[in-house]
Structure 1
Amino acid sequence: KIAEGDPFNPREIRDSAERIRALDFFAASNVNAREGSRPDQVVIDVDVEEQPTGSLNFGGSYGADDGFGLVLAFTERNFLGRGQTFGFNFSTAQESEQYGFTFIEPSFLGRDVAFGLNLRYSESDSSFANYDAENLLFRPSLTFPISERGRLSVRYTYDKDQMLVRNPVTNGPIVQREIDAGSQVASSLGYSYVFDSREGGLDPDAGWLFEFGQDFAGLGGDAKYIRTTAKIVGQRFAFNKDVILRATLEGGVLSWREGTNRTVDRFSVGPRVFRGFEPGGIGPRDLSAPENPDPLGGNLFVVASFEAEFPLGLPEELGIRGGLFYDVGNLWDLSDVDLSGGNVVGESGSFRHVIGFSIFWDTAIGPLRLNFSNALKKEDFDEEQTFDLTISTTF
Structure 2
Amino acid sequence: MKKAKLVLEEGSIFEGEIFGSVKESAGEIVFNTSMTGYQEILTDPSYKGEIVCMTYPLIGNYGINEDDFESIKPHVNGFIVKEFAEEPENWRLQKKLEKYLKENGITAISGIDTRALTKILRRQGTMRGIITTKNLSEHDLIAKAQNAPGLSGRDLVSLVTRKNIKKYGKEKKYRVVLVDCGAKNNIKDSLLERDCEVIMVPANTSAQDILSFEPDGVMFSNGPGDPEAADYVADTIEKLLGEVVIFGICLGHQLLGRACGAETYKLKFGHRGANHPVKDLSTNRVYITSQNHGFAIKEDSLAELDLELTHINVNDKTVEGFKHKKHSAFSVQYHPEASPGPEDSHYLFDQFIEMFKGGKDA
* Band of TM-score, shorter chain: under 0.3
Q: Tell me which protein shows more strand as a share of its residues.
A: 1
TM-score, length-scaled by structure 1? 0.25
TM-score, length-scaled by structure 2? 0.26
Q: Which has the larger radius of gyration?
A: 1
